[in-house]
Amino acid sequence: MELLKNLNSLGIVSVKNVYHNLSVSELVEHALNNNEGELSDTGALSVKTGVYTGRSPEDRFIVDTEDVHDLIDWGKVNKPISEDVFEKVYGRLIAYLENKDLYVFDGYAGADDKYSLKVRFINEIATQNLFVHQLFIRKETRDFEPDFTVIAAPNFKAVKEIDGTNSEAFILVNFKKKIIIIGGTMYCGEIKKSVFSVMNFLLPQKNVLPMHCSANVSKDGDVALFFGLSGTGKTTLSADGNRFLIGDDEHGWAKDVGFNFEGGCYAKCIGLSKEKEPQIYNAIRFGTVLENVVLDKSKHPNYEDGSLTENTRAGYPIEYIDNVVLEGKAGHPKTIIFLTADAFGVLPPISKLTKKQAMYHFMSGYTSKLAGTERGIKEPKATFSACFGEPFMPLSPTVYAKMLGEKIDEFNANVYLINTGWHRGPYGVGSRINLKYTRRMVEAAINGELEKVDYILHPIFNLNIPINIDGVPTEILNPINTWENKEEYIKYANELAARFIENFKRFEGVDEEVILSGPRVEE
């Protein structure tokens, strides 16, 4: 009765059936009966998402209301729409849902009760309801009153001439009404990241730093965070058989606890193998949602096939992974690692950062795209995504960076910048840094070895480089030593430093000491 009352308050008054908090097996059965996908030979539900095989940032908007207008960092990432446009799309969406079956899941974002968000997901299709069931936190839902509601109807397409949207797809976040509506796209990641965006707006108001990072913890309670954009090794390096995974993607850092936002994982599958990533490989079983992974004739997933998209995905609950912290909570981070894959081959493989440098590189969020990864890219391209997750950050990057600096101070965390990219030359000339050496550097950072070694200062990047690390060849620690042509190294390093400097000009009101802690072009 309470559920129907809630649906009616949203304008949903006439539906065929409401399936509320179905089990995994029931949702899989509905998805198969609705011809939404097929089972792989591992038991996972394999689906294709059609035209949209990834997020559609140009179709994401925040409703510009008085209560959020002065808080949102408006621009290319956080694009405003009016309340009138939202109401127009919302009205047509609700009319579309009349007399249809709806799937409802009540879940939580945030593993710590003090900071969690109760979210009601209303889905047009069973597959997406299975996804949110597996990705978000499942707790007791008796007398559940949602803090936020997400309505996702992938088969409802907006008409931009009528609705005022950018295209047929839309992701509209309304903080005033506490509603997110998503349409025109089957890609489950839009649901996940829209809730993440809401948490990133709300939690700083509670003095909680929201973070786009993975996290693990030792048996002794030492927590490490791993920030990094796609392709930097965030998932690979945080998966450590000697440590326990807290979460693979989204976390909060409060005054008394660090906690996972989610109850599941959303792993990339392209190139997945049992030998390299056995935990993810073995997690793809009954209850897992596989997106855009091609199945062979025997229904076995072909993880090498990127014909539908390179962004193939698997969504599964975190308990499908061994060595996890099921409660999703741990202490304060002792070690923070920023990962970058520098294809110019000029950044040191590891550097120790001061607090100001940590703020600088956090706001920069640098990595590089490689030639051939996108049409038109013929040489490595510097990419900057503030906070290592700019598309999901509604507030100014300076807000999150200031909070990070305060947390580092308060809890005396050590911060390192690790380059998992190239050395001995740029991409196409040099080689990728050996993963074995990178793992040893990560280990040395986490276990405290690097607090006891001597450092030298890199003259261009202004970074402190350790002179020696046991198990790592000394010559690779200072990247200029690996280049045959030293003048060529300096040229490439200056070019990348200039890109850092140019990118940082977009940030206003930044402490001068933070700016001066960044790279400098050598005359």
> Is 230 designated active site?
yes
Dist CA 422 CA 213 (whole Å): 22
Q: Residue 462 pLDDT > 80, yes or no?
A: yes
Tell me the per-residue pLDDT of 194-233, one tens digit each, with 9 for 90 and over: 999 999 999 999 999 999 999 999 999 999 999 998 888 8
Please state, as a whole number, how many other Cβ atoms lie within 10 Å of the Cβ of residue 395. Answer: 18
- Region(s) of the chain under CATH 3.40.449.10: 2-36+60-206
CA distances from 14 to 4, 92, 264 (A): 10, 14, 33
Average pLDDT, the chain: 94
Two tokens, residue 458 = 């890199």
Q: For residue 367, what are the contacts with CB-CB under 8 A and spacing of at least 6?
A: 228, 229, 230, 231, 232, 339, 340, 341, 342, 383, 385, 421
Tallying the residues shown for the chain, one arrives at: 523
Which position among 234, 329, 369, 499 bears the catalytic label? Answer: 234
Q: What is the mean pLDDT of residues 358-362?
A: 98
Q: 30, 60, 133, 193: which one is catalytic?
A: 193
Predicted pLDDT at 380: 67
Q: Where in the chain is the domain with CATH 2.170.8.10?
A: 265-320
Q: What per-residue confidence (pLDDT) applies to 350?
A: 98
* pTM recorded for the entire structure: 0.93
The Cα–Cα gap between 199 and 448 comes to 32
Whether the Cβ atoms of residue 345 and residue 430 lie closer than 8 Å to each other: yes
Q: What percent of the chain has pLDDT over 90?
A: 86
Q: How confident is the model at residue 174 (pLDDT cuts 50, 70, 90)?
A: very high
For 4, the 3-state DSSP assignment is helix
Contact indicator for 178, 44 with CB cutoff of 8 Å:
no
Binned at pLDDT 50, 70 and 90, residue 371 comes out as very low
Does the annotation mark 440 as catalytic?
no
Torsion region of 462: left, alpha or beta (phi above 0 gives left; psi -120 to 50 gives alpha): left
Could you confirm whether 396 is annotated as catalytic? no
Going by C-beta distance under 8 Å and a sequence separation of 6 or more, which residues neighbour residue 406?
Answer: none
Annotated catalytic residue: which of 251, 313, 369, 458?
A: 313
pLDDT tens, position by position, 117-159: 999 999 999 999 999 999 999 987 778 999 999 999 999 999 9
Structure confidence at residue 374 as a pLDDT band (50, 70, 90): very low
pLDDT of residue 399: 96
Q: How confident is the model at residue 465 (pLDDT cuts 50, 70, 90)?
A: very high
What is the mean pLDDT of the segment spanning 463-480? Answer: 97
CA-to-CA separations, 327 to 114, 139, 187, 264, 332, in angstroms, rounded: 14, 11, 28, 12, 15
Q: pLDDT of 70-96, one tens digit each? A: 999 999 999 999 999 999 999 999 999
- The question of whether 142 is a catalytic residue gets the answer no
**How confident is the model over 265-289, as pLDDT tens digits?**
999 999 999 988 888 999 999 999 9
Spell out the CATH class of 265-320: mainly beta
Task: Assess whether 340 carries a catalytic annotation.
Answer: no
Check 30, 55, 334, 499 and give the catalytic one. Answer: 55
Which of the residues 249, 329, 332, 407 is marked catalytic? 249
> Which of the following is catalytic: 133, 212, 352, 369?
212
321 backbone φψ class: left, alpha, beta (φ>0; ψ -120 to 50)? beta
List pLDDT tens digits, range 396-434: 999 999 999 999 999 999 999 999 999 999 998 999 999
Q: What is the pLDDT of residues 48-71, one digit of tens each?
A: 999 999 999 999 999 999 999 999
pLDDT confidence bin for 239, thresholds 50/70/90: confident
Architecture of domain 209-253+332-516 in this structure: Alpha-Beta Complex (3.90)
pLDDT at 376 > cutoff 70: no
> How is residue 352 written in tokens?
């120790």
If you search the block for the tokens 């038109």, which residue do you land on? 376
Structure tokens at 29: 């059965």
55 is catalytic: yes
The pLDDT assigned to 370 comes to 60
pLDDT digits (tens, 9 = 90+) for 296-312: 999 999 999 999 998 99
Asked if the model's pLDDT at residue 372 lies above 60, the reply is: no
- Of the candidate CATH numbers 1.10.3720.10, 3.90.25.10, 3.40.640.10, 3.40.449.10, the domain formed by 2-36+60-206 belongs to 3.40.449.10
CATH 3.90.228.20 residue ranges for the chain: 209-253+332-516
114 as an active site residue: the answer is no
pLDDT value at residue 142: 78
Catalytic residue among 42, 167, 218, 230: 230
Q: Across the chain, which distance is largest between two alpha carbons, in Å?
A: 74
Kindly name the residue from 46, 235, 238, 398 that is annotated as catalytic.
235
Told to judge if 313 belongs to the known catalytic residues of this protein, a careful annotator would answer: yes
Predicted local confidence at residue 1, as pLDDT: 64
Separation of alpha carbons 513 and 312, rounded Å: 42
**Which pLDDT band, with edges at 50, 70 and 90, does 377 fall under?**
very low
Name which residue leads in pLDDT, 7 or 314: 314
For the cut 90, the answer to whether the pLDDT of residue 163 exceeds it is: no
Residue with tokens 């280049």: 483
* 3-state per-residue secondary structure call for 355-396: HHHHHHHHHHCEEEECCCCCCCCCCCEEEECHHHCHHHCCCC
- Structural contact between residues 363 and 401, judged by C-beta atoms closer than 8 angstroms: yes
